[in-house]
A and B are shown apart, each in its own frame.
Chain A
């Protein structure tokens, strides 16, 4: 939000874009602008490779994640085990490929939940001209002052067993973590969407739509929302990285996924007591989390530049 505000009102935007004359689709224009951001391009490449790695990894590295080998405990990286082994002699690369799938999937799914809730709440608040807006904003502020991590820890610890019974071991924890992380992180998106709606709903093109008889639903979905989508995409990107961090934090505290599902945070949790003898055990998953989060954040930054039509690049 702050990034898109101009330093001074005299810097009137949009002239550069229209002067070019040639009509290109918004997606293509965004891509052209995104490519200019070098770090974002590198990050997109890195993230793409990480995703490719966890998707096709099990076919290229078909080692069982729970193959216990006591003759190879806590070994450093070698040809047999490129990322070393843990205290039970399990291959860390195989575990990281498996865990990476879950960490990334949690990040994406929680982002979808958070963005979905955020857009709905923000749009409702932004369209309402009566008591709904103050009420929704009170709820948003309330959620913002909830102690998030304690609540996350609490909910997951308390309800893990019940959901395990319904969705199975992996699915239960997955659904729970996604819903809870998403449900506690929609507020920034809601505020963003509301602010966008507030400025957009007074614009002439919305008035024109209203004058030609568009219902408020149509105004919202066809006229305002498409124009508000840029900042939402950026926020949603950043949301993926914060959800990945949130999941890793939970697992790192021992309250996320159970030990037989080695997400990256869980690997760090298991590794932290053997730090002096087997530092590689913590380094590889930690570096994976760091690389993923860093590249997503850079991509978000690139998208912010690319999707802001007022910024000339």
Chain B
């Protein structure tokens, strides 16, 4: 197991390097210039600008800059935000917990909906429940998150006035009150993202369970006299979960993409909204770091999925 983990980490490194090279090249080829505003600012003499450019090494060839960035990154120096005037790593560390909180809770919500609904629907295929669940799942993943977000705001914030639609990180309350306010403002972003994922997961779970449910070992379990509940949960669901884990891991880029949209709608101060504001203000170091963090998160979740895979399916050996 440990050697497998190490080997998987070693395999992940070239992928991450390639991803970072792609991201860096895209950024370097782009015409945007972080010192554009200095050029138009009459108070900044051209020598200062040239000195700044030389200091950040903007005029060097792409490969030189890439390796310099890589070396600095490896030493924990993530660069300096041109727009916020603080170090990129502290900027990102401020934002990452919020994103992970929203994304993580929405995934839990999605699985909490998808697993029971998918399993129940698959054990009664083509029943009324199955048809309704299937149609709702179709509706669910055809509703883009930005539209559901707006619908939720319209319904719960404007008409009913139950929930706040702006996420604030500076709630002026303490103790239980703080948790309550935090929960109230997190409900909508989490639900929007969670329901969208739940819709596609439900379909995965249903088809995975359908593939398993008629296999001989399930009949054997029933013939042994196990209760239907035990057969479904211990025998069917456990094996059906194996492909679901892979599919959930494959969804991760989409999940973080959805997180960007929800963060933007509800103004959640996570790395998604940081990315958008950094792109708009041409803040290259932050853009580079945030996209790279996204890539790392995706690779990390794929790794976790592989480990879970082995735990769920003992036939897979960690070699």
Contacts and interface: CB of A to CB of B under 8 A. Distances in A.
B31 A7 contact: no
A7 B22 contact: no
Interface in A246-282: 248-249, 252-253, 255, 265, 268, 271-272, 275-276, 279, 282
A175 interface: no
Nearest to A277: B158
A75 interface: no
Q: How large is the interface on B (under 10, 10 to 19, 20 to 34, 35 or more residues)?
A: 35 or more
A158 interface: yes
Interface of B is mostly: helix
B295 A145 contact: yes
Most buried by A among B207, B210, B214, B257: B257
Nearest to A9: B215
B138 A301 contact: yes
Interface stretch (A56-64, A80-88, A203-211, A288-296): A288-296
B135 interface: yes
B250 interface: yes
B215 A7 contact: yes
A290 B207 contact: no
A210 B209 CA distance: 39
Nearest to A285: B147
A275 B150 contact: yes
B210 A7 contact: yes
Contacts of A158: 26-27, 29-32
B226 interface: no
B313 interface: no
Interface string B14-52: 010011001100110111100000000000000000000
Nearest to B295: A147
B91 interface: no
A297 B134 CA distance: 12
A45 interface: no
Interface stretch (A126-134, A148-156, A213-221, A223-231): A148-156
Interface residues of A, number: 48
A249 B291 CA distance: 17
A281 to B, nearest CB: 10
B171 interface: no
A3 interface: yes
Contacts of B275: 150, 153
A170 interface: no
Interface of A is mostly: helix
Contacts of A162: 31
A275 B154 contact: yes
Contacts of B158: 275-276, 279
A47 to B, nearest CB: 12
Contact of A272 (B23, B150, B260): B150
A78 interface: no
A153 B260 CA distance: 11
Contacts of B111: none
Contact of B146 (A153, A157, A248): A248
B264 interface: yes
B23 A2 contact: no
B69 to A, nearest CB: 16
Given A145-B19, A150-B275, A158-B26, A7 B213 contact: yes
Nearest to B299: A145
B139 A154 contact: no
B22 A249 contact: no
A5 interface: yes
Contacts of A282: 150, 154
A298 interface: yes
Contact of A249 (B141, B143, B261): B261
Nearest to A288: B147
Contact of B22 (A144, A146, A290, A293): A146
B30 A150 contact: no
Given A279-B154, A289-B147, A293-B144, A145 B26 contact: no
B276 A153 contact: yes
Given A149-B257, A151-B291, A294 B154 contact: no
A145 B253 contact: yes
Interface string B196-234: 000000001001101101111000000000000000000
Given A145-B298, A147-B294, A3 B257 contact: no
Contacts of A159: 30-31
Nearest to A272: B150
A147 B146 contact: no
B5 to A, nearest CB: 18
Interface of B: 15, 18-19, 22-23, 26-27, 29-32, 135, 138-139, 141-144, 146-147, 150-151, 153-154, 158, 204, 207-208, 210-211, 213-216, 243, 250, 253-254, 256-257, 260-261, 264-265, 275-276, 279-280, 287, 290-291, 294-295, 298-299, 302
Given A144-B250, A158-B30, 13 more contacts: A5-B211, A7-B211, A8-B214, A145-B15, A145-B302, A147-B257, A147-B294, A147-B298, A154-B23, A154-B291, A157-B280, A241-B142, A294-B138
Ordered nearest first, which 8 A-B pairs have the shortest CB separation?
A: A158-B30, A149-B257, A147-B294, A294-B142, A286-B147, A293-B142, A7-B214, A252-B146
19 contacts: A2-B208, A7-B214, A145-B19, A145-B299, A149-B253, A153-B275, A153-B279, A154-B279, A158-B31, A248-B144, A248-B146, A252-B146, A253-B261, A255-B279, A268-B150, A293-B144, A297-B138, A297-B141, A298-B138
